[in-house]
Copies of this chain bind each other. A is one copy, B any other.
Amino acid sequence: MSKQERTKNLSIHDVAAQAGVSIATVSRVINGKDRVAAETRHRVEEAMRKLDFRPNRQARALGLRKTNTIGLVLPDLLGEFYSELMHGVDTAARDSHMNLMVIRAVGPEEEEAVCEEFLGSGAVDGLIFMISQLDDRAVHELARYKHSLLVIDRDLGDLGIDNVLVDNRSGGYEATMHLIEESRAKHLLFLGGPEENVDTRDRYLGFRDAVRRTGFSLGEEHFYRTDYSYENTFKLCEEKIIRRMAATKGRWGVVAANDDVARGMIDAALDENLGVPDRVAVVGYDDTRLARLARPQLTSMRIPLRELGRTALCLLRDRINGVRLEPSTIIFKGRLIKRRSSVPELPAFVKPGETSEKEQEYAASEVQKA
């Protein structure tokens, strides 16, 4: 293997010359699909090895009109949620010999711009979108690229775009039922995220479903919004919520729209000597690492993010490659991981290794659209 500093880039021509064949033949052995005489193939392979040749990606992509890379568009790169998702996508991408480009985009303008820039220019073969908010105009634009798009966690209806969703409504329902039935909560509270956030809306709908179904009687104020952060939730609770709880008899049940919010609630409660889960039972969402490491450990709705990422990539890959022509929608369900924050009967702390949560496979229900 010659490792001399070469200033000149190698090309298929050099290999052809070295092996005494034409460039077409070299191309054939590189791509492996056309048939080449065994002996010729060996000569070419030998030549490639000798020259330490590596086909140029751009040229390849240009000829094939295919980059073998897909873009993952996220509103943010920070936080466990996105990491997990990215991990799932990356794993599948690597299995499919595709590359992953991460692209940050917030809001309809940026999202649309990303489509134009990356799909319009052929920089990537497809885009997996985690949309922050939805705006009708943006959606309409997206539809232009429907064959190379997949949208996560946002139901786009009948636009013909692939969708991978999380069933937030049933998740909210399940979390709430758990508080009512197992935690025997007498009062309920829902702590949601920002207004535009669709996850919050669906989880809240599930909350309402459970309330209606059980005939639970809700207090006046049973819905507060936060910005999804620990800090602001803490403040909110301290200022407006804790006092109310302290003044009431009977256990409160709180459905938080994510784990940070749940932790904010819990810490605020504990600071005012409201026992968790004795006086306040709390359920979080996403089952981040925080949930296990906190004390009391946090009951939380686990979303199979990695699996979701994997699925998204595989779906998109198949769509792009024409393996599948019709758009499809896959819905993932979460699973409630029950821990001490909502179950007085559980120990305050399950030691690592003695973990009772079994790693089960997540249930995914598939729905083929017409």
Give the B-binding residues of A (Cβ under 8 A). Answer: 3, 9, 52, 54-59, 61-62, 65, 67, 69, 77-80, 82-84, 86-87, 90, 94, 99-104, 116-117, 120-123, 144, 230-232, 234-235, 238, 263, 267, 271, 289-290, 293-295, 349, 351-353
Q: How far is the CB of A94 from chain B (nearest CB, A)?
A: 7
Q: How far is the CB of A154 from chain B (nearest CB, A)?
A: 22
Closest to A231 in B: B352
Q: How far is the CB of A355 from chain B (nearest CB, A)?
A: 9
Q: How many copies does the complex hold?
A: 2
The answer to whether A267 touches B349, judged by C-beta atoms less than 8 angstroms apart, is yes
- Give the distance in Å from the alpha carbon of A223 to the alpha carbon of B344 in the complex: 39
Point out the residues of chain B lying under 8 angstroms from A102, CB to CB.
86, 90, 100-102
Given known pairs A54-B121, A101-B101, A235-B352, the reply for A83 and B77 (CB within 8 Å) is yes
Which 9 pairs across A and B sit closest by C-beta, in order of nearness?
A: A231-B352, A54-B120, A58-B61, A57-B123, A58-B62, A57-B121, A54-B121, A77-B87, A58-B58
Given contacts A58-B67, A69-B101, 17 further A-B contacts (CB under 8 A): A54-B117, A54-B120, A58-B61, A58-B123, A59-B62, A77-B83, A78-B80, A86-B102, A99-B123, A100-B101, A100-B102, A100-B103, A101-B102, A238-B351, A263-B293, A290-B290, A290-B293
Given known pairs A69-B101, A121-B56, the reply for A353 and B86 (CB within 8 Å) is no
Point out the residues of chain B lying under 8 angstroms from A290, CB to CB.
289-290, 293
